[in-house]
């Protein structure tokens, strides 16, 4: 390792497909990277494929085979990021910022061999650090790595977020202090609710990893969920922001660094759930397990599960699956319990409140039910976790419920 020290602060910036979607946009990214350098940062840039490119490449593969070999698919789609980083390095050199592109094998971003959905095992920060020491920007292809045999692998959709966080974590381990990771995307941050549903929604300035995980899995879809898990594990401060302006976005940080000690951080909803209700099924010690094993064998994911003590040794059960799986799921249930009542319902929506503050504040669920009740909204099912309460309600109340909860918990203030 070189004895030369980095004199400046380290920063990782990740640009998504829209941000590098055209030659014009790539030039704008080069200007933004240049400004970060002028602000005193040593910058590692992670780039996704140009918008549309990954789908174009997958389309070529699909023309040749209904089930293309996954190793070859990974080699194919990895070219998308390779094109982006080479172009971005050219653009940076053109505006006087010395830059060098790096592919998965060049930064030894090692993964397992699960093609199309590989998981990162490690990364060699030294090649990046020596590039920074030479006064260069390192531009790293996101989404791709290599396995132990040198095969090209990819990390799954949105994997560039994970690449960026992993690089920030690796750089931090070298320097002994945390390295921030800016994620540039086409939204300008995380909101307290969907602004399309709730006009009083406002941008959250700081949010904890845990809250972000619950929001992401509930459909906020700003960051790939694995990137948030990784950021939490290595305490990487993540700044989600837009590349179409200079506004601050949302910082995703450790709980103790999250400024706002609010009870509820946000309201989210999921319209893709459907409900199955089973009544008067004969119950036994393993009935429940047998049912959900049969659903799992049919590759059907189950989300909410609500089980009541039924009358006289009978099982009463409600659960939700994604709308696309509803018919198949109902068949599985009917085959399992020929004599029971099986009801299905598609016009439902799950609304959830998420917040670390729930852990120390009693009565949050009660407040949620009161707010919904005041609006005349019936609740079909409830499930709770440590930092989340979800209610399944009729779809027609979707917007009303989100707005009422948002205002009721004081998020619009």
Binding to a copy of itself, residues 134-153 (CB under 8 A): 150-152
Q: Does 76 bind a copy of itself (CB under 8 A)?
A: yes
Interface with a copy of itself by CB under 8 A: which range of 8-16, 98-106, 305-313, 315-323?
A: 98-106
Residue 14 in contact with residue 43, Cβ under 8 Å? no
Give CA–CA dist 190/221, Å, rounded: 9
Q: Does 113 bind a copy of itself (CB under 8 A)?
A: no
Q: Which residues pair with 240 in a beta bridge?
A: 183, 250
Task: Provide, rounded to whole angstroms, the least separation between the CB of residue 129 and a copy of itself.
Answer: 15
Interface with a copy of itself by CB under 8 A: which range of 64-72, 193-201, 236-244, 293-301?
A: 64-72
Query: Considering beta carbons, is residue 17 or 237 the nearer one to a copy of itself?
Result: 17
Residue 9 in contact with residue 45, Cβ under 8 Å? no
The residue assigned the tokens 């009422």 is 404
Query: Considering beta carbons, is residue 152 or 197 the nearer one to a copy of itself?
Result: 152
Give CA–CA dist 346/160, Å, rounded: 34
Surface-to-core class of residue 91, CB atoms within 10 Å of its CB (0-12 exposed, 13-18 middle, 19+ buried)? buried
Interface with a copy of itself by CB under 8 A: which range of 79-87, 265-273, 305-313, 332-340?
A: 79-87
Q: Does 287 bind a copy of itself (CB under 8 A)?
A: no
Helix intervals (H) in 101-224? 125-133, 159-175, 209-215
Binding to a copy of itself, residues 350-379 (CB under 8 A): none
Q: Does 106 bind a copy of itself (CB under 8 A)?
A: yes
3-state SS class at 4: coil
Q: Does 57 bind a copy of itself (CB under 8 A)?
A: yes
Planar angle of CA 59, 60, 63, nearest 5 degrees = 85
Task: Provide, rounded to whole angstroms, the least separation between the CB of residue 122 and a copy of itself.
Answer: 17
Interface with a copy of itself by CB under 8 A: which range of 84-92, 203-211, 256-264, 270-278?
A: 84-92
Give CA–CA dist 166/171, Å, rounded: 9
Query: Considering beta carbons, is residue 68 or 175 the nearer one to a copy of itself?
Result: 68
Q: Does 27 bind a copy of itself (CB under 8 A)?
A: yes
Q: Which of 4, 8, 23, 148 binds a copy of itself (CB under 8 A)?
A: 23
Q: Does 43 bind a copy of itself (CB under 8 A)?
A: no
Residue 392 tokens, joined = 């399944």
Residue 145 tokens, joined = 């790595």
Residue 187 in contact with residue 222, Cβ under 8 Å? yes
Q: Which of 2, 8, 69, 323 binds a copy of itself (CB under 8 A)?
A: 69
3-state SS class at 219: helix
How far apart, in Å, are the Cα atoms of 298 and each of 251, 283, 294, 329? 39, 22, 6, 8
How far apart, in Å, are the Cα atoms of 355 and each of 105, 261, 364? 40, 9, 10
Q: Does 345 bind a copy of itself (CB under 8 A)?
A: no
Query: Considering beta carbons, is residue 80 or 355 the nearer one to a copy of itself?
Result: 80
Q: Which of 93, 277, 287, 288 binds a copy of itself (CB under 8 A)?
A: 93
Task: Provide, rounded to whole angstroms, the least separation between the CB of residue 132 and a copy of itself.
Answer: 16
Give CA–CA dist 198/334, Å, rounded: 39
Residue 352 tokens, joined = 């959830």
Interface with a copy of itself by CB under 8 A: which range of 35-43, 60-68, 227-235, 365-373?
A: 60-68
Q: Which of 10, 20, 45, 91 binds a copy of itself (CB under 8 A)?
A: 91
263 Cβ partners below 8 Å, 6+ apart? Answer: 355, 357, 358, 361, 364, 409
Q: Does 123 bind a copy of itself (CB under 8 A)?
A: no
Residue 377 tokens, joined = 């909204």
> Which residues would be at the binding site for a copy of itself (CB under 8 A)?
23, 26-27, 57, 60-61, 63-65, 68-69, 71-73, 75-76, 78-79, 82-83, 85-87, 89-91, 93-94, 99-101, 103, 105-106, 150-152
């Amino acid at each position: 390792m070189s004895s030369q020290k980095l004199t400046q602060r380290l920063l990782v910036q990740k640009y998504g497909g829209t941000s590098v979607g055209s030659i014009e946009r790539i030039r704008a990214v080069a200007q933004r990277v240049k400004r970060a350098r002028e602000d005193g940062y040593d910058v590692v840039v992670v780039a996704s494929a140009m918008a549309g490119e990954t789908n174009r490449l997958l389309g070529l593969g699909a023309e040749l085979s209904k089930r293309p070999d996954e190793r070859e698919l990974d080699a194919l789609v990895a070219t998308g990021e390779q094109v982006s980083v080479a172009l971005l390095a050219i653009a940076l050199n053109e505006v006087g910022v010395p830059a060098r592109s790096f592919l998965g094998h060049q930064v030894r971003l090692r993964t397992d061999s699960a093609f199309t959905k590989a998981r990162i095992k490690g990364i060699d920060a030294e090649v990046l650090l020596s590039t920074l020491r030479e006064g260069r920007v390192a531009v790293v292809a996101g989404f791709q790595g290599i396995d132990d045999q040198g095969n090209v692998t990819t990390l799954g959709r949105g994997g560039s977020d994970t690449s960026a966080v992993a690089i920030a974590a690796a750089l931090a381990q070298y320097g002994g202090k945390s390295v921030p990771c800016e994620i540039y995307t086409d939204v300008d941050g995380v909101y307290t609710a969907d602004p399309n549903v709730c006009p009083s929604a406002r941008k959250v300035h700081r949010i904890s990893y845990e809250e972000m995980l619950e929001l992401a899995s509930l459909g906020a879809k700003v960051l790939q969920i694995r990137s948030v898990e990784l950021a939490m594990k290595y305490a990487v401060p993540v700044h989600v922001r837009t590349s179409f302006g200079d506004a601050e976005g949302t910082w995703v940080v450790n709980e103790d660094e999250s400024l706002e000690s609010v009870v509820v951080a946000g309201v989210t909803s999921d319209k893709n759930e459907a409900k199955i209700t089973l009544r008067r099924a004969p119950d036994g010690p393993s009935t429940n397990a047998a049912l959900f094993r049969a659903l799992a064998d049919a590759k059907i994911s189950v989300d909410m599960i609500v089980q009541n003590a039924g009358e006289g040794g009978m099982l009463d059960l409600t659960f939700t699956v994604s709308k696309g799986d509803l018919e198949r799921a109902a068949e599985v249930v009917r085959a399992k319990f020929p004599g029971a009542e099986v009801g299905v319902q598609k016009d439902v929506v799950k609304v959830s409140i998420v917040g670390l503050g729930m852990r120390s504040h009693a009565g949050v669920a009660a407040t949620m039910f009161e707010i919904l009740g005041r609006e005349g909204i019936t609740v079909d099912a409830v499930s709770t976790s440590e930092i989340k309460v979800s209610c399944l309600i009729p779809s027609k109340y979707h917007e009303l419920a989100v707005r009422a909860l948002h205002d009721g918990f004081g998020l619009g203030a």
